[in-house]
């Protein structure tokens, strides 16, 4: 369904966190709003995620479209409220990694992404669910949790530079662990440094979950990194970014509709950059759970 021809978008709710609104210059914010004209744009910034959810609950259904300016963590925190509002979502990429925007093939430039409101089309995507928590991109256990812990509270200030530093510190703190993975009818136990379960295609600033991962196919992609030296992980990094990695002695890949992860002791699970639950964990797909606006074909 084309947003420009099949439906006329007259009223848009643009949500920004107060911190993100403060980061943007007035000129940049004006560019984003102007790109969505002639629609009537109501800009609201919120202090806490709870405030953002409340705004969506109370006012979301009064608009034709909801635009959220922020990164993957903000979108993750608002996921259930966005589903409940039942309005098409337009992602304005203002985070550091912007993996959901990348999966949806949106322009990386925020005003250009905002303009997709009038040139794009509405499409339904899946949402992943882990122990009742929704996620767009990937939920994982292991190394990514170490990295997320080191990014908390400082990523907005330092951006990609801190991602590199957090990875180095996370790598030094990593420990391999034994994990049992069930994916549909397949079960296996192995030692790993990270297990990732993906609903979308990209995570971690552009790493692909699997070669054929999509956010609308009703499937979860699983890849487990087995213990390996840092030099080897860096060697396969280009393949991880391209989605060209295969099951080898260093990586195990699975695809299915339901996944369970269990470990001998509880381990934290990071979803879209936020720590949301612990193992044991059950992962499901909410098929076609949310409408989003993506570039036209």
* Residue 251 pLDDT: 87
Q: 61-75, 155-169, 212-226 — which is least confidently predicted?
A: 155-169
pLDDT in tens, 9-33: 899 999 999 999 999 999 999 999 9
Rg (CA), the chain: 19
pLDDT in tens, 229-254: 877 777 877 767 666 556 567 889 99
pLDDT of 168 above 80 = no
The residue among 224, 172, 153, 214 whose CA lies nearest residue 193 is 224
* Residue 4 pLDDT: 44
* Residue 230 pLDDT: 79
- Cα–Cα–Cα angle for 97, 102, 107, rounded to 5 degrees: 105
Start-end of CATH 2.60.200.40 domains in the chain: 133-287
What residues have CB less than 8 Å from 235, skipping those under 6 apart? Answer: none
What are the b/e assignments for 212-242, b being 16+ CB within 10 Å? ebbbbeebbbbbbbeeeeeeebeebeebbee
pLDDT class of 45 with cuts at 50, 70, 90 = very high
What percent of the chain is helix, strand and coil (3-state, nearest 5)?
A: 35, 35, 30
pLDDT of 270 above 80 = yes
Q: Does domain 133-287 have CATH number 1.10.3720.10?
A: no
What CATH code would you report for 11-126+290-294? Answer: 3.40.50.10330
* Residue 236 pLDDT: 72
Q: What is the DSSP track for 215-259?
A: SSSS-EEEEEEPS--HHHHHHHHHHHHHT-----SSEEEEEES-E
Cα separation of 278 and 179, whole Å?
A: 13
4 vs 163, more confident: 163
pLDDT of 127 above 90 = yes
The residue among 126, 156, 152 whose CA lies nearest residue 138 is 126
pLDDT class of 3 with cuts at 50, 70, 90 = very low
Summarize the confidence of residues 68-90 as an average pLDDT: 97
Summarize the confidence of residues 105-134 as an average pLDDT: 97
Q: 1-5, 88-92, 257-261 — which is least confidently predicted?
A: 1-5
Start-end of CATH 3.40.50.10330 domains in the chain: 11-126+290-294
Cα separation of 2 and 78, whole Å?
A: 25
* Residue 185 pLDDT: 96
DSSP state of 157: H
Q: What is the DSSP track for 84-152?
A: HHTS-EEEEE-SSS-HHHHHTT--SSHHHHHHHHHH-EEEEEEEEEETTEEESSEEEEEHHHHHHHHHT
pLDDT class of 297 with cuts at 50, 70, 90 = confident
* Residue 234 pLDDT: 78
Summarize the confidence of residues 61-72 as an average pLDDT: 96
> Residue 65 burial (CB < 10 Å; 0-12/13-18/19+)?
buried
pLDDT of 149 above 80 = no
Longest dimension (CA), the chain: 56
């Amino acid at each position: 369904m084309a947003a420009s021809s099949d439906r006329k978008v007259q009223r848009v709710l643009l949500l920004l966190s107060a911190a993100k609104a403060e980061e943007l210059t007035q000129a940049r914010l004006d560019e984003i709003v102007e790109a969505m004209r002639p629609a009537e744009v109501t800009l609201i910034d919120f202090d806490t995620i709870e405030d953002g959810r409340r705004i969506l609950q109370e006012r979301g259904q009064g608009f034709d479209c909801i635009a959220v300016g922020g990164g993957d963590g903000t979108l993750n925190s608002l996921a259930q409220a966005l589903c409940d509002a039942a309005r098409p979502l337009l992602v304005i990429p203002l985070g550091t990694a912007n993996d959901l925007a990348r999966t949806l093939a949106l322009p990386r430039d925020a005003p250009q992404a905002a303009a997709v409101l009038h040139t794009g089309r509405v499409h339904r995507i899946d949402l992943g669910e882990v122990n009742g928590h929704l996620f767009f991109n990937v939920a994982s256990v292991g190394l990514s949790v170490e990295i997320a812990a080191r990014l908390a509270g400082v990523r907005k200030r330092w951006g990609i530079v801190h991602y590199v530093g957090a990875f180095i510190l996370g790598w030094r703190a990593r420990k391999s662990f034994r994990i049992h993975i069930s994916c549909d009818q397949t079960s296996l136990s192995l030692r790993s440094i990270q297990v990732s379960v993906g609903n979308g295609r990209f995570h971690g600033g552009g790493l692909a979950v699997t070669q054929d991962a999509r956010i609308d196919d009703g499937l979860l992609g699983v890849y487990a990194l087995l213990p390996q030296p840092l030099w080897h992980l860096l060697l396969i990094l280009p393949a991880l970014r391209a989605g060209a990695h295969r099951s080898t002695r260093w990586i195990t890949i699975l695809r299915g509709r339901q996944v369970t992860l269990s470990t001998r002791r509880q381990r934290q699970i990071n979803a879209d950059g936020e720590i949301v639950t612990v193992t044991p964990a059950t992962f499901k797909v909410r098929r076609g759970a949310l409408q989003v606006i993506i570039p036209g074909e």
